[in-house]
Amino acid sequence: MAAKLKIAIAVFAAACAFAGWAGYTWFTATASEAVSYGNSRDEALKSGRELVARLTSLDHHRVDQGIADWLAASTGPLRDQLGKTDDATRRTLTKDATVSTGKVLDAAISELDDHAGTAKMLASVEITMAKEGAAPTTKRNRFAAGLTRTDEGWKLSALDQLPVGAR
Residue 141 and residue 149 in contact, taking contact as beta carbons nearer than 8 Å: no
- Give me the pLDDT at residue 166, please: 54
pLDDT tens-digit readout, 65-104: 999 999 999 999 999 999 998 988 888 888 888 899 999 9
pLDDT tens-digit readout, 148-157: 999 999 999 9
Answer yes or no: is pLDDT of 23 > 70: yes
- Give me the pLDDT at residue 34, please: 62
Would you give the distance in Å from CA 82 to the centre of its chain? 20
Class for the domain spanning 39-162:
alpha beta
Q: What's the pLDDT band for 32 if we cut at 50, 70, 90?
A: low
pLDDT tens-digit readout, 46-66: 999 999 999 999 999 999 999
- CA dist 81 and 110 (Å) reads 24
Residue 105 vs residue 25, higher pLDDT:
105
Q: What is the mean pLDDT of residues 8-15?
A: 79
- Give me the pLDDT at residue 118, please: 96
Q: What is the mean pLDDT of residues 29-49?
A: 82
Give domain limits for the chain: 1-31, 39-162
- CA dist 49 and 53 (Å) reads 6
**Predicted structure pTM score:** 0.78
- Give me the pLDDT at residue 134, please: 86
Instruction: Spell out a b/e string for 19-52, using b for 16 or more CB atoms within 10 Å of the CB, else e.
Output: eeeeeeeeeeeeeeeeeeeeebeeebbebbbebb
Report in angstroms the alpha-carbon separations of 148 from 92, 145, 162: 31, 10, 20
The neighbouring-strand residues paired with 142 are 124, 162
Which residues, in sequence order, are CB contacts of 58 under 8 Å at separation 6+? 66, 93, 98, 99, 100
